Chains A and B, each alone.
Chain A
Amino acid sequence: NAGVTQTPKFQVLKTGQSMTLQCAQDMNHNSMYWYRQDPGMGLRLIYYSASEGTTDKGEVPNGYNVSRLNKREFSLRLESAAPSQTSVYFCASKRALAGGQETQYFGPGTRLLVL
């Protein structure tokens, strides 16, 4: 049981290049999320997927697209990378527990540098 996995761990891009960040979870969770973490700003929600086949914008979706390929996988694509997208990207999935309790499980992060 690997939990939430992300690839790659680190990536350097030039402005204008594209890339896809991969995320997978093996916990059979319905909901998955992409956040970005920037110094002094905490984590901000980019996109989320409440279930397979659905995706919705979060707080900072501009410049990104997502695909919920199946229940396990949720990818984040940068079509034309910009220096402002230099950040650490975290994928998460959520387990909903009885009584309204829920826990998000995070991946190890992808560190992206856009030059």
Chain B
Amino acid sequence: AQRVTQPEKLLSVFKGAPVELKCNYSYSGSPELFWYVQYSRQRLQLLLRHISRESIKGFTADLNKGETSFHLKKPFAQEEDSAMYYCALLDTGRRALTFGSGTRLQVQP
């Protein structure tokens, strides 16, 4: 069975510090991974997908198949980055997402 693990429930950093939100997955096939973000009082929205190899709002994530990881990184955190972040893996059979338990990022001034 596929699984997504986000080991940190809460990550607190100061503004300007680097951020790394960890995500590990287990999946037998070729994974399709995503990061979703939920800002306070807003709906869940896509941040980035690994297949696009994109950088959104300064965030990047690299798929490491050897370590089965898809960590989210940003070199300099901003206060507006404070939110709940979810790593998700696509179930290619159901075409639905399996989510990790989420990490709350707090960026302090």
Q: Which residues of A contact B (CB under 8 A)?
A: 4, 31, 33, 35, 40-45, 48, 50, 56, 58-59, 90, 92, 94, 99-109
**8 Å CB contact of A31 from B44, B45, B95:** B95
Contact B44 A56 (CB under 8 A): no
Taking CB as reference atom, which chain B residue is nearest A31? B95
**Interface residues in B36-74 (C-beta closer than 8 Å to A):** 43-46, 49, 51-52
Contact B51 A94 (CB under 8 A): no
Does B97 count as interface, using CB distance less than 8 angstroms? yes
Interface residues on B, range: 20 to 34
Q: Chain B residues near A41: list those with CB within 8 A.
A: 101
Contact residues of B: prevailing secondary structure: mixed
Contact A100 B43 (CB under 8 A): no
List 8 other contacts, CB 8 Å, given A48-B96, A101-B49: A42-B4, A45-B97, A58-B96, A101-B52, A102-B95, A104-B97, A106-B43, A108-B43
Contact residues of A: prevailing secondary structure: strand
**8 Å CB contact of A42 from B51, B94, B95, B101:** B101
Does B25 count as interface, using CB distance less than 8 angstroms? no
Contact A99 B51 (CB under 8 A): yes
**8 Å CB contact of A106 from B32, B44, B96:** B44
Q: Given the complex of chains A and B, what is the CA–CA distance between A10 and B97 in angstroms?
A: 24
Q: Chain A residues near B96: list those with CB within 8 A.
A: 33, 45, 48, 58
Contact B94 A45 (CB under 8 A): yes
Min CB distance A24 to B, Å, is: 14
Q: Chain A residues near B101: list those with CB within 8 A.
A: 40-42
**Interface residues in B78-109 (C-beta closer than 8 Å to A):** 86, 90, 94-102
Taking CB as reference atom, which chain B residue is nearest A96? B95
Q: Given the complex of chains A and B, what is the CA–CA distance between A86 and B101 in angstroms?
A: 17
